[in-house]
Amino acid sequence: MVAEGLYTDKNDCNVLVMWRYSNLGNDVLMDIPIRYLGNSGLLVSAVGLGCNNFGRVDTPTFTAEGTADVMVAAIEAGINFFDTADIYGAEFGMSERLMGPVVAKAREQMVLTTKFGHTEYESPLARLGPGGSRAYIRASIDESLERLQTDYVDLYQHHTPDPRVPIEETLEALNELIDEGKVRHIGHSNYSGEQARRAQSVAKRLGLRTFVSAQNEYNLLAREAEHDILPTVQDLGLGFLPWFPLHNGLLTGKFTKDGGPENSRIMQSRHHVHAEAPWDAMERFAAFCESRRITMLEATIGWLLAVPGMSSVIAGATTVVQVRENADAAVSWSPTTREFTQIANFFPVKP
Ligand SMILES: NC(=O)c1ccc[n+]([C@@H]2O[C@H](COP(=O)([O-])OP(=O)(O)OC[C@H]3O[C@@H](n4cnc5c(N)ncnc54)[C@H](OP(=O)(O)O)[C@@H]3O)[C@@H](O)[C@H]2O)c1
C-alpha cells in the first residue's frame, strides 16, 4: 500500500488527515490510459472519480476517513480526474470540504474539477445573485477553493444553464477567473446542443476563452445525449463527461430483477431505478457478459470508452474495492465494433 492514514477525527475534516506517501505518483499500482479533454490540453484518466458520494449519508464516504480512503485508492490505481461540485454531500460544500485534506497533499497528482450554479439547489450565496451571474461566480470559486484547500481548479463547470443570466456575463466572469489563475479551463454541464453552440459562438465573438467540455447524463440506459449534445460536442471539439455512467450502480452487475445489495444507493433511496429497469434487456446483457467471461462493470465501462468523443468515465464509488474495480475496467476489456453494436442494441436509444 502506498499511503498510510492516521485519522484523528473521523467526521471533522478540518482536522488534517495525515498521510504518509512513499512518493505517490511513481508508485501507482496500474496504468490507466489518459485522454485529452477535448482541445483543452488537459490529460485525464479514462476512468475518473465522480465525487458526489463524499458526504452522502449512510455511505462509508460520509466521513473524512472514508472519503480519503477512496481518493487515495483512486490515485494509487492511476485515476487522476476528480469531479465534484459545491452542492455535493449532505450539506452545501461538504464533498469539497471532505476532499480538501487529500487535495492539499496530492494536488499535483490530480486534475481537479468542481461545479457551481445549479439552478435547482439552494445556495448560501444566492443573496449575491443568480448562479450564472458575475457576483455569484466570483464568490463561489473562492469558497470552493478554500474548501478544496487549493488555489486553482483545472476545470470549473457551470452546473446547469441559467436562463436568468445572459451567457455573455457568465463567460466574462469565468474568463476573469482564468486570467486570475483560479481556474485553468471552463466547462458546462446539462447544456443542450444549442446552448453549447451559442456559448461557443458568443465566446469567440467576444474574444473570450470557450468552454472546453460538456457533462451530461449518459449511460447504456440513458442514451438521449446521442440525439443532441454528443454530436455537438464532437463538432465543437469539446471533451465529454458522462454523468451517472453506471446508472447509479445498476450497470455494475450486482442487481437482478429480484433486487440487489441492501446497502446500495439504489436499494436504499433510489428504488425507482431498479423498478424501471428493462430487465429483459439487462438479462440479455448479463448473458453477453457471461459468454465473454467479463463482468457487467467491465462491459459497461469498456462500451462507454468506445463511444466517440468520450473523455473520462467519471464513475462514483463508495468503497476502495469499487474504485479499484472501476479503474481496472479502464483496461480490462474493449468491445470490437460488432460487440459495441450488439451491446447498444440491447438498450435502444429512446426518442
Ligand atoms: N453534472 C450533473 O448534473 C451530475 C449529475 C449527477 C452526477 N454527476 C457526476 O457523475 C458522477 C457519477 O455519478 P454517480 O456517482 O451518481 O453514479 P454512477 O457513477 O452511475 O454510480 C455510482 C454508484 O454505483 C455503485 N458502484 C460504483 N462502482 C461500483 C462497483 N465497482 N461495484 C459495485 N457498485 C459500484 C456505487 O453505489 P452503491 O455503493 O451505493 O451501490 C456508486 O456510488 C457523480 O459522482 C458526479 O461527479 C453529475
DSSP per-residue string spanning 156-170: EEE-S--TTS-HHHH
Q: Pick the atom of ligand 1 nearest to 157's CA.
A: 1
Span of 32-36, 88-92, 207-211 with lowest mean pLDDT: 32-36
At 351 the pLDDT is 87
Tell me the mean pLDDT in the region 200-221. Answer: 98
Output the domain CATH number for residue 39. Answer: 3.20.20.100
Tally of domains within the chain? 1
Is the pLDDT confidence value at 307 over 70?
A: yes
Structural domain containing residue 75: 23-346
Is the pLDDT confidence value at 12 over 60?
A: no
Tell me the mean pLDDT in the region 50-75. Answer: 97
Gap from CA of 134 to ligand 1 centroid (Å): 31
pLDDT confidence band for 6 (50 / 70 / 90): very low
Tell me the mean pLDDT in the region 262-273. Answer: 96
Question: 46 CB less than 6 Å from ligand 1?
Answer: no
Tell me the mean pLDDT in the region 230-246. Answer: 98
Gap from CA of 317 to ligand 1 centroid (Å): 6
**Which value, in Å, is the radius of gyration of the alpha carbons in the chain?**
20
Is the pLDDT confidence value at 8 over 50?
A: no
Is the pLDDT confidence value at 139 over 60?
A: yes
At 13 the pLDDT is 28
Is the pLDDT confidence value at 24 over 50?
A: no
What are the residues whose beta carbons fall under 8 Å from the beta carbon of 64, sequence distance 6 or more? 7, 9, 10, 11, 12, 13, 15, 17, 98, 101
Is the pLDDT confidence value at 19 over 70?
A: no
Q: Pick the atom of ligand 1 nearest to 215's CA.
A: 1
Q: Look at residue 30 and tell me if it is in a domain.
A: yes
Catalytic residue numbers read 88
Question: 315 CB less than 6 Å from ligand 1?
Answer: yes
- Give, for ligand 1, the residue of 243, 251, 313, 314 to mutate: max count of ligand atoms closer than 8 Å to Cβ: 243
Is the pLDDT confidence value at 110 over 50?
A: yes
Q: Pick the atom of ligand 1 nearest to 52's CA.
A: 45
Q: Look at residue 146 and tell me if it is in a domain.
A: yes
Q: What angle do CA 327, 332, 333 make, to 5 degrees?
A: 125
Gap from CA of 181 to ligand 1 centroid (Å): 30
Is the pLDDT confidence value at 9 over 80?
A: no
Is the pLDDT confidence value at 255 over 60?
A: yes
Question: 326 CB less than 6 Å from ligand 1?
Answer: yes
Q: Which of 187, 220, 202, 214 is nearest to 341 (CA)?
A: 220
The fraction of the chain above a pLDDT of 90, given in percent, is 90
Q: Which three cell numbers stand for residue 56?
A: 452522502
At 30 the pLDDT is 53
At 22 the pLDDT is 34
What are the residues whose beta carbons fall under 8 Å from the beta carbon of 205, sequence distance 6 or more? none
Question: 243 CB less than 6 Å from ligand 1?
Answer: yes
H-type alpha helices, 114-264:
134-148, 167-179, 193-205, 229-236
- Residue 286's CB is within 10 A of a number of other CB atoms, namely 18
Asked if residues 178 and 184 have their Cβ atoms less than 8 Å apart, the reply is: yes
Name the residue at shortest CA distance from atom 44 of ligand 1: 50
Gap from CA of 239 to ligand 1 centroid (Å): 19
* Residue 52 to residue 48: CA distance in whole angstroms: 12
Q: Look at residue 173 and tell me if it is in a domain.
A: yes
Is the pLDDT confidence value at 60 over 50?
A: yes
Question: 248 CB less than 6 Å from ligand 1?
Answer: yes
Q: Look at residue 27 and tell me if it is in a domain.
A: yes
For residue 277, the surrounding DSSP H or E stretch is none
Is the pLDDT confidence value at 122 over 80?
A: yes
At 1 the pLDDT is 29
Q: Look at residue 14 and tell me if it is in a domain.
A: no
Question: In terms of pTM, does the model score above 0.75?
Answer: yes
* Residue 261 to residue 180: CA distance in whole angstroms: 47
Please report, as a single letter, which amino acid is at residue 156.
Y
At 238 the pLDDT is 98
What are the residues whose beta carbons fall under 8 Å from the beta carbon of 287, sequence distance 6 or more? none
Gap from CA of 216 to ligand 1 centroid (Å): 13
Distances (CA, A) of 165 to 57, 85, 117: 33, 20, 11
At 31 the pLDDT is 78
pLDDT confidence band for 15 (50 / 70 / 90): very low
At 20 the pLDDT is 27
Question: 95 CB less than 6 Å from ligand 1?
Answer: no
Q: Which three cell numbers stand for residue 4?
A: 498510510
pLDDT (tens digit per residue) in 276-290:
999 999 999 999 999
Phi, psi for residue 38 in degrees, rounded to 5: 55, -135
Q: Look at residue 10 and tell me if it is in a domain.
A: no
Q: Look at residue 241 and tell me if it is in a domain.
A: yes
Is the pLDDT confidence value at 7 over 80?
A: no
Q: Look at residue 242 and tell me if it is in a domain.
A: yes
Please report, as a single letter, which amino acid is at residue 51.
C
Question: 65 CB less than 6 Å from ligand 1?
Answer: no
Alpha carbon distance, N-terminus to C-terminus of the chain: 48
pLDDT confidence band for 27 (50 / 70 / 90): very low
- Bridge partners of residue 215, in order along the sequence: 189, 241
